[in-house]
């Protein structure tokens, strides 16, 4: 089986690369934070964005009601972003947009 075929699930979503997963594991151990995949499929569908508030604070945003705590660091590994927030580590596709948002 080819590597590309192995990286696709039955719903045809590609999986993060092995390199990205290895970097996430190292960061999770060092930072003592969980790795979250709940934004992964939506990021592949480009339904997620990195929102930037007026003060420069960044958030990973799914909707007006669903977003992460503030982003402290973003790493790009191959075709994915590893996004470190105050509480967790998220893996998302690097194809997502960055947009200015208004925040309360």
Per-residue model confidence as pLDDT tens for the chain (104 residues): 455 555 554 568 899 999 999 999 999 999 999 999 999 999 999 999 999 998 899 999 999 899 999 999 999 999 999 999 999 999 999 999 999 988 65
Q: Measure Cα distances from 37 to 8, 31, 40, 104 in Å.
A: 15, 17, 5, 26
Which whole-number Å values give the CA distances from 55 to 41, 52, 63, in the listed order? 29, 8, 20
**What is this structure's pTM?**
0.84
Residue 17, C-beta contacts closer than 8 angstroms, at least 6 positions apart: 7, 77, 78, 79, 80
pLDDT score for 101: 87
């Amino acid at each position: 089986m080819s590597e590309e075929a192995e990286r696709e699930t039955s719903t045809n979503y590609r999986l993060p690369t092995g390199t990205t997963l290895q970097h996430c594991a190292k960061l999770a151990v060092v930072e003592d934070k969980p790795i979250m995949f709940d934004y992964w499929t939506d990021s592949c569908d480009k339904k997620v964005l990195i929102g930037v508030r007026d003060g420069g604070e960044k958030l990973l945003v799914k909707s007006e009601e669903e977003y992460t705590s503030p982003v402290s660091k973003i790493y790009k590994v191959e075709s994915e972003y590893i996004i470190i927030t105050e509480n967790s580590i998220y893996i998302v596709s690097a194809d997502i947009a960055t947009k200015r948002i208004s925040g309360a």
